A and B are shown apart, each in its own frame.
Chain A
Amino acid sequence: MFSIPTFLDSFGPLFWAARYTLLVSGLGIALGLVIGALICAARLSGVAFLRTFAALWVSFLRGVPLLVQLLLVYFLLPVIGIDVPALVAAVVTVGICASAYISEIWRGAIGALPRGQTEAARAIGMGPGDVWTRIVLPQAVTMSLPALINELILLVKASSLVSVVGIMEITRASQAQAATTFRPMEVYLAAACIYLMINLCLAALGRYLEHRMAV
């Protein structure tokens, strides 16, 4: 029988665990945006070495499952003598993985800008710095917003994977809860509700931002 009290009682500890889910995905996307911008710039630069590096970066990180990347980092770092807390390693790994997707999102948005946009700027004598910051990036950010929100939602769900390196986020906490209550269905249903709530909020935020930035 489905135990409604167990289901409801699960929310407390799982909400508390959600702080790690939000921390890992929030810092992960922030790091991913910064590194993604750099990788995108490298990919579009005139320097062949940077372009190749960026292309390899993207294909490796997109081609290897995040779970495997997390395990690699978790077991590799101590071997090469780097001792960082599991949480830091998890955030960095998630951020780096996200950077591969985000750099491609931005490359796509920049590529979708009509050539006339930058030509009009160059024709009045605008320099490359102003062309990027005033003409290209504002439009690319607006255009890429739906894809970035999508990426953030994927990241919230992917953050469940950091449970394998011992972070007590929603998924790991629900496993523990299920083991102590012997009521896995109630607990995991509560976990599902929390993930859904978080992501519905993010989707709403995305719609709000899109609406505000629409011209």
Chain B
Amino acid sequence: MVQASSVEIRGVNKFYGPFQALKDIDMSIAPGKVTCLIGPSGSGKSTLLRCINFLEEYDSGEVRIDGQLIGYEAPGRKMSARKLRAMRRSIGMVFQQFNLWPHMTAIQNVTEGLVRVRGMKKPEAEARAAEALNKVGLGDKMGNHPSRLSGGQQQRVAIARAIAMEPRLMLFDEPTSALDPELVGEVLTVMKTLAAEGMTMVVVTHEMGFAAHVADQVAFMEKGELVGMDIPDRILHQPEDPRIQGFLRSYHERNSF
């Protein structure tokens, strides 16, 4: 079992010029719980996710990891870069486009952070990296460069890169959206394993099956607003809000045959 973080989001707003990408978002995520963010594209799901590790700077409100405010010392006063980096060490992130470093092999991608950020010695880092790669089922691909791996394998290396750092919270930004359909399963399987180990996970996804079966809560966003958040069944099968009903109707129309 991993030591898992809680996330508290209070009144978060985010503007791009005059455009408001996030409108007064409140959200609580208990340690060890899986939260899926769903909604149409442009609804602010990814922006909200990226505010949690402050890759996206929210303008007002609070995001707290285990009670500690991230990005700001106090409202309006930015946190030092060093302190922000220290907080990010225990938050793993997985991107839609994998973002592996192409000039490094799979195992080098994983050891890089261990050596540079955690200050580990190389042999120790390599042992840890090998363990992480074995865990995602890529023990035999450690020496491959990303260009020699399939999309699903690349995304699993990216997950290994994150979990090797021993995060207490994992953020997934549409982790399967760039994958060919037949490669989605292998990535979701790894994510399910993580969830079962008690990792706190926030997942932006269009995989309704994953949301239905793995998530503890599902949040539906539209136009920068959090429209509803509840257990999966209530959001996905008995939604009351017409916006959620409309979204799911069009989802089912696209995915039925």
Contacts and interface: CB of A to CB of B under 8 A. Distances in A.
Contacts of A215: 102-103, 145, 147
A7 B92 CA distance: 69
A139 B116 contact: no
Interface string B49-60: 000010100000
Interface string A105-135: 0000000001011011111111110100011
Given A122-B55, A125-B117, A114 B99 contact: yes
Contacts of B116: 126, 130, 134
A127 B113 CA distance: 10
B101 A123 contact: no
B95 A116 contact: yes
Interface of B: 53, 55, 81-82, 85-89, 91-93, 95, 97, 99-103, 112-113, 116-117, 145, 147, 158, 161-162, 165
A142 interface: yes
Contact of B93 (A123, A139, A142): A123
A142 B145 CA distance: 15
Interface of A: 114, 116-117, 119-128, 130, 134-135, 138-139, 142, 215
Contact of A116 (B53, B86, B92, B97): B97
Contact of A124 (B82, B102, B113): B113
Nearest to B167: A124
A119 B97 CA distance: 11
A123 B103 contact: no
Contact of A119 (B55, B161, B162): B55
A115 B103 CA distance: 16
Contacts of A135: 101
Given A117-B99, A139-B103, A124 B55 contact: no
20 contacts: A114-B99, A119-B55, A119-B95, A120-B93, A120-B100, A120-B161, A121-B101, A124-B88, A124-B162, A124-B165, A125-B85, A125-B87, A125-B88, A126-B117, A130-B116, A130-B117, A134-B116, A139-B101, A215-B145, A215-B147
Contacts of B95: 116, 119-120
A120 B145 contact: no
A203 B95 CA distance: 38
Given A122-B55, A126-B113, 14 more contacts: A114-B97, A119-B95, A123-B53, A124-B93, A125-B85, A125-B86, A125-B89, A125-B117, A126-B112, A127-B82, A127-B85, A139-B103, A215-B145, A215-B147
Nearest to B118: A125
Given A116-B97, A117-B101, A134-B112, A124 B161 contact: yes
A138 B165 contact: no
Interface centre among B81, B92, B113, B162 (most CB of A within 10 A): B113
B72 to A, nearest CB: 17
B157 to A, nearest CB: 11
B55 A123 contact: yes
A15 to B, nearest CB: 39
Contacts of B158: 120
Contacts of B101: 117, 120-121, 135, 139
Contacts of B82: 127
